[in-house]
Amino acid sequence: MNSYTLIDENNWKRREHCAIFRHYVEPSYCMTVDLDVTNFLRTVRDEGYSFTMSFIWVVSKCANEIEEFRYRFLSERVVLFDRIDTYFAYMDEGDDLFKMVTVPFRDSMREYVSEAVRTAKSQKAYFPAPPGIDVFSFAPIPWVSYSHISHTNPGHRNNVTPMFDWGRYTEKDGRVTMPFSVQVHHSFVDGVHVGRLIENVQNYMDEY
């Protein structure tokens, strides 16, 4: 488990917001937007990187830079992790069953992509172990371009892991877009924070 800070909830700016939402039957919500990936897709292809692993890295980098995405419940207390790692779905060629792979976040995209590809290809088990709470969850859905998505609910009240999904590219007028979904727990993440994340991810797509 990554290092974390125990939050003094009595003197915490989100005390009231967290108290309201943490006991809701369905405290999570999901947003879907279209991202323009034209420049980013071209660049990672030129560099020979996996788009999937590169995109996971970009979203993780941007989410790690926003404090609200790093809060978690731990033994009924609120903690703030210093860093959040990655947990993603991966399908081997010729297999129509996915496996879930955990890879630590790295500061370098090159290092992360290399390690993520190597780990995903070498892992044999579909579900080797339950993920830690200090991860972001990712699931590419490259077969369809969608406008809405929902998720299964394991029923764990303190499960606040942000979930990120994306769909098939669509090309129009020389631009390439794809749907991108963000699911978060309202105890920690508000619409303003999701908006900030999406803006930062889009900026990275444009400038990379």
Q: Does any domain span residue 9?
A: no
Residue 79's domain comprises 32-207
pTM, full prediction: 0.96
pLDDT given at position 156: 80
Q: Does any domain span residue 27?
A: no
CA atoms lying within 13 Å on the CB side of residue 142: 5
Q: What is the pLDDT of residues 146-203, one digit of tens each?
A: 999 998 888 787 889 999 999 999 999 999 999 999 999 999 999 999 999 999 999 9
Q: Does any domain span residue 172?
A: yes
Q: Does any domain span residue 60?
A: yes
Q: What is the pLDDT of residues 116-142, one digit of tens each?
A: 999 999 999 999 988 999 999 999 999
Confidence band for 38, pLDDT divided at 50, 70 and 90: very high
Average pLDDT over residues 55-74: 98
Token pair for residue 195?
């908006």
Strands (E), the chain: 4-6, 28-36, 71-74, 77-81, 85-90, 99-103, 135-141, 163-167, 170-172, 175-185
pLDDT given at position 191: 97
pLDDT at 145 over 80: yes
Q: Does any domain span residue 10?
A: no
pLDDT given at position 153: 82
- Of all residues in the chain, the percent with pLDDT exceeding 70 is 100
Q: Does any domain span residue 13?
A: no
Average pLDDT, the chain: 96
Q: What is the CATH number of the domain that holds 128?
A: 3.30.559.10
Q: How many domains does the chain have?
A: 1
Q: Does any domain span residue 19?
A: no
Q: What is the pLDDT of residues 101-113, one digit of tens each?
A: 999 999 999 999 9
Q: Does any domain span residue 18?
A: no
